[in-house]
């Protein structure tokens, strides 16, 4: 298979961007579609993976990451970013749940859930556009 099979025409010497980072700054945010050059099927899979994470938490990004990590740099990075977010949301949810004993958890837990939904929807829209959204304040736990 040549590089244009997967839509990675700008990387004629490989099958696309490097699978594993570190990726340059232009690989993230608005305008990053040119870096990834992901075909429509990969964008759709990334979109569905982000939407699936809304309902099934870390399970969907984990499955997609494990299946596609060696096939598609774009889907690998999308699922890695989503998995990192889901891990942080689980940790924040546990912390907010524990803080319910002192009263502020009743405000924090819904805020964590809503923030997770908003970030995941933003990432889904960006994935559909062929861009990778790097979540703010989320460390790279899964590399």
Q: Rounded to the nearest 5°, which phi and psi values hold at 133? A: -100, 120
pLDDT in tens, 99-119: 988 888 899 999 999 999 999
DSSP string, 48-75: HHHHHHHHHTTHHHHHHHHHHTTT-HHH
In a domain, 48, yes or no: yes
Q: How far apart are the two ends of the chain, measured CA to CA in Å? A: 27
DSSP assignment letter at 132: -
Alpha-carbon distance 105 to 72, whole Å? 39
Point out the residues of the chain with pLDDT beneath 70: 1-16
In a domain, 134, yes or no: no
Task: Report pTM.
Answer: 0.85
Give me the number of domains the chain comprises.
Answer: 1
- What is the domain extent for residue 116? 3-128
Closest listed residue to residue 43, CA positions, set 17, 1, 74: 74
């Amino acid at each position: 298979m040549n590089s244009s099979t997967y839509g990675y025409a700008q990387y004629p010497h490989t099958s696309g961007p490097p699978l594993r980072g570190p990726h340059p700054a232009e690989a993230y945010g608005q305008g990053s579609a040119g870096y990834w050059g992901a075909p429509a099927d990969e964008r759709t899979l990334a979109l569905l993976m982000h939407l699936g994470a809304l309902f099934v938490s870390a399970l969907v990004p984990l499955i997609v990451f494990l299946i596609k990590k060696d096939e598609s740099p774009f889907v690998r990075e999308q699922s890695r970013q989503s998995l990192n977010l889901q891990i942080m949301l689980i940790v924040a949810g546990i912390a907010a749940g524990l803080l319910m004993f002192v009263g502020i958890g009743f405000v924090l837990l819904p805020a964590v859930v809503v923030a997770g939904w908003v970030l995941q929807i933003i990432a889904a829209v960006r994935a559909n556009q062929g861009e990778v959204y790097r979540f703010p304040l989320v460390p790279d736990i899964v590399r």
